[in-house]
Amino acid sequence: MAAPALPIVWKDAAGENNYEKERVDRIFNAIKPNRYPRAIIKATHPSHVQEAVQLANKLQCRVSVRSGGHSWAAWSVRDDAILIDLEGLHEIDLDEDKTIVKASPSTTGAMLNEVLVPKGLMFGGGHCPDVGIGGFLLQGGMGWNCKNWGWACEQIVALDVVTAAGEALHCSETENSDLLWCARGAGPGFPAIVTRFYLKTRQRPAVMYRSTFIYPISVYKTVMDWITKISPTSDPGNEIVAVGLTPKGMNEICIMAHIVTFQESESAAREALRPLDESRPVGALVELVSQPTSIADQYVDQAHANPENHRYCADNAYIKNDADVTGVLEKAFTSLPHRKSFALWFSMVPTSRRPMPDMACSMQSDHYFALYTVWEDAEDDVRCQGWVKNIMREVAPMSEGAYLGDSDFQVRRTKFWSDAAAAKLMSLRRKWDPKGTVSGYLDEGDASGTEGLDNQNWIKS
């Protein structure tokens, strides 16, 4: 059957309301960018992606790509580019014998697990249920239980792409392997457009349990010292985070220790949580000890923490292993600028201590830290964004680098890869996209082009 006609909305030909809807309606952040694509193509077939690239080459303009639209900095919206929106490209196809799932880039982790979980499988996708796997995987993929299961991008066994020249290719360890290498951690600088991922799934743990403890912020140091000390020796089924937040129904900033464990039995789950449950500091305001949970339940909590139609400013850092983590993060956890904002510490040991596979994703440490500054009113923009910038100025000197997914290259850049991986990645970008047809890293002025990022520290004054 022939592919349907190319569905395209031109900036200068479409009605203003229709163009604006397609330009930014799927951008998760309520702060909408002042950047205007030449056209938006609502792809529903892989051939539409090829046609879009061929059209861009004919018009001598760039293409940009939107999978889930969850990029805080709205990387998909680029001036005078043809925006390829993959929302309508739907595919989830599981090979149960090989436990390999084929999925389109706009597929969310929640969609994927809705299919996999009833089959006794799961995929460690993004924690937020509405994050598309396209951007998530290209950035490395700090997914469920990443500290023990590793990076989600390691589960990419192959992918189908359209190159900057408009050619459809299959990429694997034996075909076009350098593009597979790039896909595991290049982020928005991937020099092609993915139309299909082939992903290894894992056996779904039989049970999930959680323990959650919420403390007044006055005992921040005690709680943070405890959770960072006990995490490295915790059970390999345990995902461990600490969060500075203002809990629902409370009016004060608190610190929450939250542990989710993936196990094969209730007894194993309780045993995995027992060392944390028994050693937890006294004085919690809320204690949920070894309670059953599920991926679906956790998605609900994540959706509540990351509400739609809100304004966001995010940044992050991998804190050095020998740093005083509690001291470095104290101001971030204790001075949140809005009751909906939160600061996160995510334990990365033992993944951070093993040699990384040969892939673009190459930056990590034992301690991942991120700020998710969330607010509602434009009048708070300067205050909230300024708070993030000030916190990161203090934290950055004690960091190894940062994660692509929670970054905005227009405001701050740092090391996102090892030096060797960065050099290889930028070289491969120029090999596969010598004219810069595929919009890459959105830095200040959108000027990175074929050079990409320099993998060095920079912050906008």
pLDDT in tens, 271-309: 999 999 999 999 999 999 999 999 999 999 999 999 999
**Residue 284: which residues within 8 A CB-CB, separation 6 or more?**
213, 214, 215
Residue 157 has pLDDT above 90, yes or no: yes
Provide the pairing of β-strand 238-245 with 254-263.
antiparallel
The tokens describing 269, both together, are 């789950």
Q: How confident is the model at residue 375 (pLDDT cuts 50, 70, 90)?
A: very high
Q: What is the reported pTM?
A: 0.95
Residue 46 is predicted with a pLDDT of 94
At residue 162, the pLDDT reads 98
- The per-residue pLDDT for 12 is 87
The domain defined by 92-203 folds into 3.30.465
Rounded Cα–Cα distance for residues 396 and 320 (Å): 10
Tell me how far apart the terminal alpha carbons of the chain are, to the nearest angstrom. 55
Contact (Cβ atoms closer than 8 angstroms) between residue 347 and residue 241: yes
The three-class DSSP label of residue 260 is strand
* CA R_g for the chain: 22
Tell me: cis bond preceding 350? Omega within 30 of 0 counts: yes
CB 443 within 8 A of CB 460: no
Residue 126 pLDDT grade (very low, low, confident, very high; cuts 50, 70, 90)? very high
- 14-55 per-position pLDDT tens digit: 677 899 999 999 999 999 999 999 999 999 999 999 999 999
SS3 302: helix
Q: Please say whether the beta carbons of 361 and 156 come within 8 A.
A: no
**Is the per-residue pLDDT at 459 higher than 90?**
no
Domain 207-413 has CATH 3.40.462.20: yes
Handedness of CA 404, 359, 447, 57 (dihedral sign): negative
pLDDT band per the 50, 70, 90 thresholds, residue 457: confident
pLDDT of residue 4: 79
Contact criterion met (CB below 8 Å) for 422 and 181: no
Reduce the DSSP state of residue 327 to 3 states and report it: helix
Mean pLDDT across 367-373: 98
Per-residue CA distances from 104 to 64, 172, 220 (Å) = 16, 16, 42
Backbone angles phi, psi at 276, to 5 degrees: -75, -40
Instruction: Indicate if 92-203 has the same CATH topology as 8-85.
Output: no
Average pLDDT rounded to a whole number, residues 149-162? 98
Of 261, 42, 301, 232, give the one whose Cα is nearest residue 144.
Answer: 261
Dihedral, CA atoms, 14, 19, 21, 26, nearest 10 degrees?
Answer: 130
Contact 312, 72 (CB under 8 A): yes
- C-alpha to C-alpha distance for 300 and 214, rounded to whole angstroms: 18
* CB burial readout 378-407, b (16+ within 10 A) else e: eeeeeebbebbbebbeebbebbbbbbbbbb
d(CA 225, CA 57): 55
Q: What average pLDDT score do residues 409-422 get?
A: 96
Domain chopping of the chain, boundaries: 8-85, 92-203, 207-413
Q: Is the pLDDT of residue 2 over 70?
A: no
Q: Which CATH number fits domain 8-85: 3.40.1180.10, 3.40.50.2300, 3.30.43.10, 3.30.470.10?
A: 3.30.43.10
Instruction: Say which amino acid occupies 171.
Output: C
Q: What is the mean pLDDT of residues 156-162?
A: 98
Cβ atoms 435, 450 nearer than 8 A: yes
- Where do the H-state alpha helices sit in 214-306? 220-230, 266-279, 295-305
Residue 351 has pLDDT above 60, yes or no: yes
Tokens of 456: 């060095």
- Rounded mean pLDDT of the chain? 96
pLDDT at 1: 54
Angle at 253 between CA 251 and CA 258, to 5 degrees: 115
Q: Which helix (H) or strand (E) holds 49?
A: helix 46-59
CA distances to 31, 38, 79 from 16, rounded to whole Å, are 19, 13, 16
* Residue 74: both structure tokens together: 């709205």
